[in-house]
Chain A
């Protein structure tokens, strides 16, 4: 690709990311919401007050990779963790879940929320309908104090900084759900976020410099990840949007976000421009899938015993969907890269990202939208000025 084409494509990709990103104000709003839940759990009458409730986001709202819903009736999903200081030998999963459920129900009543929290397999779901619609999933958890497991992680090469934030979570479908015992599912969203942040350290710190100079934050660690947008985060956003559009009619079959985020995180090599980062990512990301026989493994980088692609074995269609999606993504980007004008690039890539967002990007770039109802005109009216073709040798006869 000629360099000037790359520049143009970079601009187009940036415009798409800007349009599909969840606005910073929305991140702030989410922050207010979960802080408010945290404060509720710490109020004087709270039954969980002395369990040091710690409410924090996980997933895309933590890494700053959240995207707007790609279709009109989709809602924005925010994942939160609520970690309470219990130990496995003094509470069952069921009691932990229901203890939190009780407080959240009171919270919903106190806040005049339309719906009570709904009991899901592993979390409580709250629906907010004031202003914009979004779902908040709150995952009850306790700290993982299993030192044997921590030792295993260290031996497996996971850095200590990533492994000390592990949690245990509940699952209503487990047979021991109502019993006090040691068999809990594990998770480590904070550790995963630290890994992800580490993958974009160079550009994150570069972006952090100006915020630190303005004395908005005291240290890099204090800066929420959504405050700085690196090409890694932007790439994840673009890929997730592209996937959402491709699997609009088959949402169950789409490659899951943690697979995409992990593979993109591995493939990214500190490229400073989005176009370069994406170019690398789409060629390299599938190299980080480990294939053992007929098993495909996308390891959780902070929990090597967890395979994000564990479902692919039972449902090979999910594997095919992943590779099919990656192939389409490569083709869509290549097609856009071969266009010459900015408008053509926007339209070419827009075909894969949806008409609505393409329209927005075109408009923001100052292009007039082609009227949708009128097809392109094949025979525009041209007033012919008399012109005499040259070179008649008298041989041409009709």
Chain B
């Protein structure tokens, strides 16, 4: 058996990642690729410099880059109640789903995933420990956090409007002549249309549906 395009792709991306984060290693135990090792960083925000390192574990899904890796901190430093999910509450909740895709799509690579999502998360944790507050704020648990994201994205203050826009995204169709669900009375194309189209490209319709399911009952 020869290397698939997928293998080559992962290995090339890992090599790029490793030139910067030299203590990470790529593994494949027959059940897909994982990355583990020490992830260190030195970053500054608002005059506060954090230099730290964490033992991390990344699982790369078979659908990558159409599916996002998941990240865990395995050194036991980050408590269960700091933005974690999963059965064992060990998966880092880096950002809400669509938010993760926006960050990931900026630089679709393992290095981009680490630097734009994992490091900011670890940085936020360190920053909070040091100063008592989150550097870039945070999202609430579950559907509320998702709505917070859409409000911010569409520049809305009304959760209900954000939920309606998400519902439309979950249907997977852009109907330009429809009245914008934000309540402005204008057509979608001349209201939130551009932003709508932009985020539509970020993740699959299924992923929007998943998000919508979480906000439906609120």
- A positions within 8 Å CB-CB of B: 2-5, 7-8, 340-344, 370, 376-393, 395-396, 398
Given the known interface contacts A340-B28, A378-B40, the answer about A391 and B145 at a Cβ–Cβ threshold of 8 Å is yes
A390 / chain B contacts, CB cutoff of 8 Å: 83, 93-96, 99, 138-139, 141, 145-146, 149
Give the nearest-CB partner of A392 in chain B.
Answer: B138
**Bound complex: CA A8 to CA B139 (Å):** 44
Contact check, A4 vs B85: say whether CB atoms are below 8 A apart.
no
**Minimum Cβ distance to chain A for residue B31 (Å):** 11
**Bound complex: CA A8 to CA B3 (Å):** 9
Q: Does B7 contact A (CB under 8 A)?
A: yes
Contact check, A389 vs B124: say whether CB atoms are below 8 A apart.
yes
The 8 Å CB contact of A377, one of B22, B25, B117, is B22
If over half of B's interface residues share one DSSP class (helix, strand or loop), that class is named, otherwise mixed; here it is mixed
Given the known interface contacts A4-B2, A376-B23, A398-B128, the answer about A386 and B135 at a Cβ–Cβ threshold of 8 Å is yes
The 8 Å CB contact of B15, one of A343, A381, A383, A384, is A343
Category for how many chain B residues contact A: 35 or more
Contact check, B123 vs A389: say whether CB atoms are below 8 A apart.
no
Given the known interface contacts A341-B15, A396-B82, A398-B132, the answer about A391 and B141 at a Cβ–Cβ threshold of 8 Å is yes
**Bound complex: CA A302 to CA B51 (Å):** 67
Q: Does B157 contact A (CB under 8 A)?
A: no
A370 / chain B contacts, CB cutoff of 8 Å: 22
**Bound complex: CA A370 to CA B22 (Å):** 10
**Minimum Cβ distance to chain B for residue A21 (Å):** 26
A378 / chain B contacts, CB cutoff of 8 Å: 22-23, 38, 40, 53
**Bound complex: CA A239 to CA B117 (Å):** 46
Instruction: Sample 8 A-B pairs with CB under 8 A, ordered by A number.
Output: A3-B1, A340-B33, A384-B119, A389-B124, A390-B99, A391-B83, A393-B140, A396-B81
The 8 Å CB contact of A379, one of B40, B92, B149, is B40
Q: Does B116 contact A (CB under 8 A)?
A: yes
Give the nearest-CB partner of A367 in chain B.
Answer: B15
Supplied contacts A382-B43, A384-B43, A390-B93, 11 more A-B pairs, CB within 8 Å: A340-B26, A342-B11, A380-B20, A382-B119, A383-B115, A385-B120, A389-B95, A389-B124, A391-B84, A391-B145, A396-B82
**Bound complex: CA A340 to CA B137 (Å):** 38
- Cβ proximity bits B1-14 to A, threshold 8 Å, 1 near / 0 not: 11110010001001
A389 / chain B contacts, CB cutoff of 8 Å: 82-83, 92-95, 121, 124, 134, 138-139
B140 / chain A contacts, CB cutoff of 8 Å: 391-393
The 8 Å CB contact of B81, one of A377, A386, A388, A393, is A393
Given the known interface contacts A378-B38, A398-B132, the answer about A387 and B43 at a Cβ–Cβ threshold of 8 Å is no
Q: Does B27 contact A (CB under 8 A)?
A: yes
Which among A377, A378, A395 has the highest number of chain B CB atoms within 10 Å? A378
**Bound complex: CA A387 to CA B96 (Å):** 10
**Bound complex: CA A393 to CA B22 (Å):** 35
**Minimum Cβ distance to chain A for residue B24 (Å):** 11
**Bound complex: CA A2 to CA B132 (Å):** 48
Q: Which of B140-190 contact A (CB under 8 A)?
A: 140-142, 145-146, 149
Contact check, A7 vs B3: say whether CB atoms are below 8 A apart.
yes
The 8 Å CB contact of B116, one of A385, A396, A398, is A385
B134 / chain A contacts, CB cutoff of 8 Å: 388-389
**Minimum Cβ distance to chain B for residue A190 (Å):** 42
The 8 Å CB contact of B95, one of A380, A387, A398, is A387
The 8 Å CB contact of A392, one of B43, B94, B139, is B139
Give the nearest-CB partner of A6 in chain B.
Answer: B1
A4 / chain B contacts, CB cutoff of 8 Å: 1-4, 7
**Bound complex: CA A385 to CA B120 (Å):** 7
B81 / chain A contacts, CB cutoff of 8 Å: 393, 395-396
A8 / chain B contacts, CB cutoff of 8 Å: 3
**Minimum Cβ distance to chain B for residue A249 (Å):** 30
**Bound complex: CA A342 to CA B33 (Å):** 15
**Minimum Cβ distance to chain B for residue A391 (Å):** 4
A384 / chain B contacts, CB cutoff of 8 Å: 43, 45, 119-120, 123, 135
A377 / chain B contacts, CB cutoff of 8 Å: 22, 40
**Bound complex: CA A390 to CA B98 (Å):** 11
A383 / chain B contacts, CB cutoff of 8 Å: 43, 115
**Minimum Cβ distance to chain B for residue A3 (Å):** 4
Q: Does B42 contact A (CB under 8 A)?
A: yes
**Bound complex: CA A379 to CA B44 (Å):** 12
Q: Which of B89-107 contact A (CB under 8 A)?
A: 92-96, 99, 103
Q: Does B79 contact A (CB under 8 A)?
A: yes
A387 / chain B contacts, CB cutoff of 8 Å: 94-95, 99, 103, 116-117, 120-121, 124, 136
B85 / chain A contacts, CB cutoff of 8 Å: 391
Q: Which of B55-74 contact A (CB under 8 A)?
A: none
B84 / chain A contacts, CB cutoff of 8 Å: 391
Q: Does B21 contact A (CB under 8 A)?
A: yes
**Bound complex: CA A103 to CA B1 (Å):** 60
**Bound complex: CA A382 to CA B121 (Å):** 12
**Minimum Cβ distance to chain B for residue A341 (Å):** 5
Q: Does B30 contact A (CB under 8 A)?
A: yes
**Bound complex: CA A270 to CA B171 (Å):** 62
Given the known interface contacts A4-B3, A390-B96, A392-B83, the answer about A380 and B139 at a Cβ–Cβ threshold of 8 Å is no
B82 / chain A contacts, CB cutoff of 8 Å: 389, 396
The 8 Å CB contact of A386, one of B53, B128, B136, is B136
Contact check, A379 vs B15: say whether CB atoms are below 8 A apart.
no
A341 / chain B contacts, CB cutoff of 8 Å: 11, 14-15, 26
Contact check, B115 vs A382: say whether CB atoms are below 8 A apart.
yes
B94 / chain A contacts, CB cutoff of 8 Å: 387, 389-390
